Amino acid sequence: MVAKIIVRTNVVLHLSYKGTCFYGWQSQKNLPTIQDALEKAISACGLGPVRLCGSGRTDAGVHALDYVANFLTEKKLPAARIKEALNAHLPDGIRVTRVEKAPAVFHSRYHASSKVYRYLIADRFSPFLENTAWVVRDPVDVKKMKDASSLLLGEKDFSSFQSSGSCIRNAVRTVKSISIHRTHFTLDPSVKIISVEIEATGFLYRMARNMVGLLVEAGRGRLSLAQVSRIIAAKDRRLAPPPAPADGLYLKKVCYPKRKRNE
Amino acid sequence: MVAKIIVRTNVVLHLSYKGTCFYGWQSQKNLPTIQDALEKAISACGLGPVRLCGSGRTDAGVHALDYVANFLTEKKLPAARIKEALNAHLPDGIRVTRVEKAPAVFHSRYHASSKVYRYLIADRFSPFLENTAWVVRDPVDVKKMKDASSLLLGEKDFSSFQSSGSCIRNAVRTVKSISIHRTHFTLDPSVKIISVEIEATGFLYRMARNMVGLLVEAGRGRLSLAQVSRIIAAKDRRLAPPPAPADGLYLKKVCYPKRKRNE
């Protein structure tokens, strides 16, 4: 008997998707999810069946600009062909933007060193927004949001920003940067958009939305800096404002140490 | 017998709408149109039945940022209440952004002195575009587009840019300005957008889309300035490139002489 050596390729997918039509990233019985749509497309291309490893869960309605997932396959196909083939089988709401090959040990979730989330807040409703931003009609002061955001930077226990439904005990994370800008909406320039970008070594359950919820309350003038400090220090979710809605949230980037992707 | 004097108010509506779900502005039997949706909403608010005067037809799929329409009604209702009431009865794809009252003689189409159309061209597909731009994957040189656009300015016979299906004989119009910019797409900043804004005293049938079709061919380097000049001078639609698709076109503004709105 001759032993058969199976050589498997670790395929890394970069994805953008509009979360509105999906019940989040993770596979669910009888509900459309991004993971299920992709696994179906991978099978339809003759590369499956596979189980995709995602770089994290995104909630229903949350979008992604550059989500990373990977899977192992024994089939051989050039990366460029995989991209084309998958896109031909995917609905318009999901797009594979890049396909790469990685060392067999690479895992899109375990090896992520940080993530960047982006959040959009619109000052009024527009028919062109379609679930892509949170509409806040009250005046929001960007300067006040920036002042409050500086209190969230660094290594801290972020228990006040972790929604229930998570079993994570250690809530210490490092928020590396928060940048806040005002811009005009390309499709309807009469709409003003505030974008908030948060980079952290990891995000607790709903941490990005809970942070934006607090920053908008600060921007509305409903929370002073002293109150924001107290909320952070309390390590108690019940004292912080409600989360910003899923519509405005985008996973913008997943960062990896260079050696993990290439070693 | 006492003669009854009927006092009617001329109500002016400013609208934004996403054209994707509609078969254009104008009422059609058994097909959803913007005019029909509005007339239905006006009736549902107790201000109708009315026949709306629109400031022009927009084709199926074409969007509007500030379309103007007007109607006469005997009913009394403050302008702010009309806006709220109509929006409560309209689908998300149509929004009343402003309501004003005008002199009885004001007519949103006949009194328009110029219009501004905006056109968006994206350099790649994104799940967030959803029929709001024309995706042109070839490199497009904005400088070449601008050079070609300068040849379209002024009072000219624009027969080369009038699609068939129109019975207008006199094709002389004045293009007052064309501005072209490159920007990033708010919802997905990896997408680059070229915006083209054209102001003219009037637009022939599909004139804006036919002009953008030509400008993009110039930007792709497929038409020299001499060829563009010849196409304009020929006054022959058959010599010009095909129209840009409806998806990327937005009616941005309808301009009126001040006295017409207020006299």
Please indicate whether, in this complex, the C-beta atoms of A127 and B92 are within 8 angstroms of each other: yes
Cβ neighbour number for residue B145 with a 10 Å cutoff: 23
Q: Return phi, psi of residue A203, to 5°.
A: -120, 130
* Residues A175/A198, Cβ–Cβ less than 8 Å: yes
Give pLDDT tens digits for B189-220. 999 999 999 999 999 999 999 999 999 999 99
Active site residue B92: no
Nearest-CB residue to A92 (from B92, B127, B189): B127
Among A14, A128, A129, A195, the strongest candidate for a mutation testing the B interface, having the largest count of B CBs within 10 A, is A128
End-to-end CA distance of chain B: 34
**Chain B contacts of A97, Cβ < 8 Å?**
190
Is 80 exceeded by the pLDDT of residue B5? no
Angstrom distance (rounded) from CA B133 to CA A202:
35
Give pLDDT tens digits for A49-99. 999 999 999 999 999 999 999 999 988 888 889 999 999 999 999 999 999
Structure tokens at A252: 């913008």
**Chain A contacts of B63, Cβ < 8 Å?**
128
- Interface of A to B at Cβ within 8 Å reads 16-18, 63, 65-66, 92-95, 97, 120, 125-128, 130, 132, 183-190, 193, 195
How close B228 gets to chain A, by Cα (Å)?
29
Structure tokens at A184: 């005009």
Q: Please provide the DSSP assignment of B171-204 as one string.
A: -EEEEEEEEEEEEE-TT-TTSEEEEEEEEES---
- Kindly provide the ipTM of the predicted complex, given to two decimals: 0.91
CA within 13 Å, CB half, B214: 29
Write the single-letter amino acid at B239. L
Q: Is A250 left (phi over 0), alpha (psi -120 to 50) or beta?
A: beta
Give pLDDT tens digits for A204-220. 999 999 999 999 999 99
What pLDDT, on the 0 to 100 scale, is given for residue A259? 73
